[in-house]
């Protein structure tokens, strides 16, 4: 009976396990050469929530989103955002400078499939992308066979970071 309990506990813990590739605070520190500014928040009014819902294709339930803004290599913002892939959150760190993506990195992945989005061959595609007026990315992102939902989630987060960056710059 004890063995069964231990096996069930191990199975449960592996299901709830997140692959954390980089802690959020370490990502933020890296983007500001080890000296990040104090975090700020953007409050989400009805208009901004509607824009986010259009990008995410679902309602955003939060009231505010935390970000960091500094003068590292010109004005830049850093965002740590989450989006559901198929069933669980994918955490992505995104740095936006001069209205385009400077860095995009998967920080934590919790899904059973689609983890390939963490690799540089995928994330480097986002560098220098900007958000067009129709709320689409400025270029094509190649997908990954078997990771369609994860790819979609990361693309959505890239758009969200660019949208939020433009909002805090106004």
Query: Taking a C-beta distance cutoff of 8 angstroms, is the pair 75, 94 a contact?
Result: no
**Within-domain flag for 75:** yes
Determine the structural domain holding residue 62 and report its residue range. 18-169
**Within-domain flag for 85:** yes
**Within-domain flag for 52:** yes
Q: In this predicted structure, which of 63-72, 98-107, 127-136 has the lowest mean pLDDT? A: 63-72
Encode pLDDT of 35-83 as tens digits: 999 999 999 999 999 999 999 999 998 999 999 999 866 789 999 999 9
Record the pTM: 0.88
């Amino acid at each position: 009976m004890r063995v069964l309990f231990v096996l069930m506990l191990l199975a449960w813990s592996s299901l709830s396990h997140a692959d954390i590739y980089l802690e959020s605070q370490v990502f933020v520190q890296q983007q500001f050469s080890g000296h990040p500014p104090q975090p700020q928040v953007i409050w989400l009014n009805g208009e901004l929530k509607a824009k986010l819902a259009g990008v995410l294709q679902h309602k955003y339930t939060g009231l505010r989103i935390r970000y960091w803004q500094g003068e590292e290599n010109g004005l830049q913002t850093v965002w740590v955002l989450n989006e559901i892939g198929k069933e669980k959150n994918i955490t992505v760190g995104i740095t936006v400078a001069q209205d385009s993506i400077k860095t995009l990195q998967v920080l934590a992945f919790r899904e059973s499939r689609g983890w390939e989005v963490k690799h540089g061959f995928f994330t480097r595609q986002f560098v220098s992308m900007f958000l067009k007026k129709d709320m689409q990315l400025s270029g094509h992102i190649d997908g990954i066979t078997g990771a369609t939902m994860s790819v979609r989630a990361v693309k959505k987060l890239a758009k969200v970071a660019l949208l939020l960056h433009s909002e805090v710059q106004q």
